[in-house]
Amino acid sequence: MERKIEKSDYDLLQSQTIDFLRFPLAVAVVFIHSFGTTEYYSPSSDFFHFSGTGFYDLIRICFSHVVTHIAVPTFFVISGFLFFCKVSTFNTLEGWKRKLLSRFHTLVIPYLLWNLIAVLIVVAVKVGGFFLRGKPLSSILDYFRDNDWLHLFWDCNVWGEDRTNWLGVYVSSTGPVNLPLWFLRDLIVVVAFSPIIFWLLKHLRYYLLYVLLLCYISGIWFNIPGVQVIAFLFFSIGAYVGIFGRNVIVECQKVKWLFYVLFCILLPLTVWFDGRSTHIGSLIYPFFVIVGVGTVFNLAAWLLETGRVKNKFPVLGKSSFFIYATHTLLILDFTTVICSRLLYWDNPVIQIVRYFMIPLLAVTICFLCYLLMQKYTPKILGILMGNR
């Protein structure tokens, strides 16, 4: 007779799934910022260009422009769920204060420190250029002026300036000097709005999610740096699950076959139209991301539940934030140079091997740095990690 699955079993599976996902999602973020070293053709723009080089382009579009873009929304869902999973905390004003103060230590302090480190690295490189190559030190002041000083900590990087929403309004994205930390910036903002999100979800329930979903798909939203709809939607999805005592895995498994079927349909379409890099792709992209998040939770839970994978190395999950925060701080540039010099041939096979080697080597270096700091400078690491 088949044993009935208890709620505690699903709660354990949910916890294991979240812990398991942290590391592969961090690796996915590294792939987003590593796209190879040559120009490329979008598959939809030149069908007859599809050759060995075309296959290489298809591979890196798939992994850097499409599949890996599921990672950040998934992190937002996890963050929203973990913030509200103990809903009794929010019954009193004191409970809210404690929760927000804890997020100040785990989000705001690391955010400021990692961006400051990025700024100091740039300054150090320019000082080195002065001593080694005689470059003027005035370039340091120019750097701060060009990036509007404190904007280095918020929105000095801009991309996607040619994207438009359903109304034809241009909607670019921004990030701080340590570019991947735009996720942390937006998470800080959405946590600051968490009391409002809590109240709206309590009163509007899933209707709020429908409104945010429409805003995400259409791109119609406030064009304010740090206040992006992607953060509010996916954080609110996780918050909804936590506030109403649901289970992420149970909710995703209710429609898992729909997720799987839609994922198989939308993935090749989104890859073919190069994600958000083309007009048609930008229309398909949000649907793919939504379906992809559900698919990721279902797939990870299935792998763990069936024993096909086991989270035997929790240190990988613990290192995920460190990898996410450090990989663009010279490390990805370093691995790009090393791999390009070791594998300098430009035939498609070598290009594909090089494409995968660059981010994987960067992840390895980041992980080794994490282990070294964990052993020799644990207090400094704790501060940088927000004592996670």
* Beta bridge partners of residue 170, listed in sequence order: 164
Identify the residue whose tokens are 């989000």: 107
Q: Please answer whether residues 386 and 102 qualify as being in contact, where contact means their C-beta atoms are separated by less than 8 angstroms.
A: no
* Alpha carbon distances (Å) from 231 to 5, 188, 204: 33, 10, 19
Q: From CA 315, how far away is CA 70, in angstroms rounded?
A: 23
Instruction: Measure the CA–CA gap between 110 and 259, rounded to whole angstroms.
Output: 35
Query: Cα–Cα distance between 345 and 177 in angstroms, integer?
Result: 33
Q: What is the pLDDT of residue 88?
A: 78
Instruction: Look up the pTM and report it.
Output: 0.95
Q: What is the pLDDT of residue 36?
A: 79
pLDDT for residue 3:
45
The H or E element containing residue 159 is strand 157-159
Q: Report the pLDDT value the prediction gives residue 2, as an integer from 0 to 100.
A: 40
Please tell me the distance from the alpha carbon of residue 159 to that of residue 65, in angstroms, as a whole number.
14
3-state secondary structure of 36: coil
Distance, in Å, from the CA atom of 226 to the CA atom of 207, rounded to the nearest integer, reads 24
What pLDDT score was predicted for residue 264?
97
Residue 43: its pLDDT value, please?
Answer: 72
Kindly state the tokens that stand for 61: 């579009």
- Residue positions counted in the chain: 388
Of all residues in the chain, what percent are helix, strand and coil, respectively (each to 5)? 75, 5, 20
The Cα–Cα gap between 148 and 159 comes to 17
Please tell me the predicted confidence (pLDDT) of residue 87: 79
Cα–Cα–Cα angle for 157, 161, 167, rounded to 5 degrees = 135
Mean pLDDT, each 10-residue run in order, the chain (388 residues) = 59 94 97 84 62 86 96 98 87 87 94 97 93 88 94 95 92 96 98 96 95 97 95 98 94 96 97 92 96 98 91 90 96 95 89 96 98 96 91
Rounded CA separation 319/315 (Å): 6
